[in-house]
Amino acid sequence: MKLVMTTIGLIAGALIGFGAANAASAESIKIGEINHYKRMAAFAEPYKNGIELALEEINGSGGVLGKDLEFIFRDDQGDPGEAIKIAEELMTRDGTVMLAGSILSHVGLALSSLAAEKKYVYLASEPLADALVWESGNAYTFRLRTSTYMQAAMLAGAAAKTGATRWATIAPNYAYGKDAVKAFKEALMAINPNVEFVTEQWPALFKIDAGAEVQAIERAKPDAIFNVTFGGDLAKFVREGNTRGLFEGRAVFSLLSGEPEYLDPLKDEAPEGWVVTGYPWYDFTEGPNKVFVDAYMARWNERPGIGSLVGYMSVQTIAALIEKAGSTDTEALRVAFADLMVSTPVGEIKFRSQDHQATMGAFVGKTALRDGAGVMVDWEYLEGADYLPSDEEVAKRRGGN
């Protein structure tokens, strides 16, 4: 009788163990996604939709390492302190294996610092400040989007061809804006040392006094303008500049202003002839870009934005990373990120081992009005790898990080 009971117990134990193993294998791989979903809804919601589309596609094809990939979305209200608090909860309470997200650079820099401190992998999907992977770079932070340095260098090449020598700049007074102006000035002056920056305007983020800024730029009598404002600040700057004739007879080069998230709200007030970086989703006729746009519009019944693309590519990156690592162990993920190759709608990109910057490029073109709305025309896609500094310059900027 004792033997029978022991045998039954062993069988039961084995069944319980088998059930536990099955339950464990069925668990999803959780990613902590932190962003400003309320404060920057116009950008963050398309980004989230891009993530969810990619998750549906990947999980529908068997997931990653035999498990579903799951994102836990949390809203930090655009506050670095709140982002840190949420990140710690995601790491310790929610069982995430890595972090992703952030649009605003100062929030991304805070999360990057935490990643270094806690030795926890962070994919900075969207923040653009150069310091993220250079001066403040660390072993656990990797960036997907084309940085300010890369986009500014793309615009500087076109700006040099205008022959303009007197330049004005306007940018939000925080990490992203400062890095963008610095990068543009360095890139332009390397091509034409005779250029002069006659005024620099630094409005507080989302608190621009557009009338005063336009007046200050006009007083300096520049030949051309480099703009880094975005969102509501961009709309106010464009409208005030149009009213006061600031842009008449002047070349304007503007980061991000061709992105639908920022161009669409301007409607028929959108400027014409600005050279911008953006996302001409409406002009794709074939290839992976067209496939993505069609899939996104079929799923969400709305046009994609650049945020949609970045969200989609974030999931592609994380899936490729985990597959390469063959594990969700933090150190395995960190090591696997070195020279990680990812197939995306814009082509194959690589996360460079020397600075953890991806080689995602950008679309550069001119703004125009089409059917009463702003669009990009005469655009081309520029490869990100062609607009990055040398390994020696990277090592100098990272300072051994």
Per-residue pLDDT tens digits for 46-65: 999 999 999 999 999 999 99
Q: How confident is the model at residue 15 (pLDDT cuts 50, 70, 90)?
A: very low
The tens digit of pLDDT for each residue in 373-399 reads 999 999 999 999 999 999 999 999 998
Q: How is residue 72 written in tokens?
A: 């836990």
- Contact partners, residue 382, CB within 8 Å, separation at least 6: 154, 361, 362, 363, 364
Q: pLDDT confidence of 400, banded at 50, 70, 90?
A: low
The per-residue pLDDT for 287 is: 97
State how far the Cα of 320 lies from the Cα of 337, in Å rounded to an integer.
9
Question: Is the pLDDT assigned to residue 11 strictly greater than 70?
Answer: no
Q: Where are the domains of the chain?
A: 28-147+285-360, 149-279+363-387
CATH of region 149-279+363-387: 3.40.50.2300
**Mean pLDDT along residues 355-377:** 97
How many Å apart are CA 361 and CA 243, to the nearest integer? 34
Which H, E and C letters describe the chain, residue by residue? CHHHHHHHHHHHHHHHHHHHHHHHHHCCEEEEEEECCCCCHHHHHHHHHHHHHHHHHHHHCCCECCECEEEEEEECCCCHHHHHHHHHHHHHCCCCCEEEECCCHHHHHHHHHHHHHHCCCEEECCCCCHHHCCCCCCCCEEECCCCHHHHHHHHHHHHHCCCCCEEEEECCCCHHHHHHHHHHHHHHHHHCCCCEEEEEECCCCCCCCHHHHHHHHHHHCCCEEEECCCHHHHHHHHHHHHHHCCCCCCEEEEEEEECHHHHHHHHHHCCCCCEEEECCHHHCCCHHHHHHHHHHHHHHCCCCCHHHHHHHHHHHHHHHHHHHHCCCCHHHHHHHCCCEEEEECCEEEEECCCCCEECCCEEEEEEEEECCEEEEEEEEEECHHHHCCCHHHHHHHHCCC
Predicted confidence at residue 401, as pLDDT, reads 76
| Closest by CA position to 365, among listed 144, 145, 126, 154 | 154
- pLDDT over 80 (residue 155): yes
pLDDT at 106 over 90: yes
Pick the CATH number of 28-147+285-360 from 3.40.50.200, 3.40.50.2300, 3.40.50.720, 1.10.3720.10: 3.40.50.2300
**Is the whole-model pTM more than 0.85?**
yes
Higher pLDDT, 220 or 21: 220
Residue 123 has pLDDT above 80, yes or no: yes
The per-residue pLDDT for 6 is 39
- The tens digit of pLDDT for each residue in 220-248 reads 999 999 999 999 999 999 999 999 999 99
The predicted pLDDT at position 3 comes to 37
Compute the average pLDDT of residues 334-362: 98
25 pLDDT more than 90: no
Q: What is the mean pLDDT of residues 82-95?
A: 97
- Work out the percent of the chain whose per-residue pLDDT is above 90: 90
Tens digit of each residue's pLDDT (9 = 90 or more) over 252-299? 999 999 999 999 999 999 999 999 999 999 999 999 999 999 999 999
- What is the pLDDT of the chain when averaged over all its residues? 93
Q: Which one is predicted more confidently, 81 or 2?
A: 81
- Tokens (6 digits) for 359: 């080689």
In the predicted model, is pLDDT for residue 14 greater than 80? Answer: no
CA distances from 234 to 87, 132, 172, 182, 209 (A): 30, 24, 10, 19, 11
What pLDDT does residue 20 have?
Answer: 36
- % of the chain surpassing 70 pLDDT: 93
**What are the pLDDT digits (tens) for 27-42?**
899 999 999 999 999 8
Q: Judge whether residue 7 has pLDDT over 60.
A: no
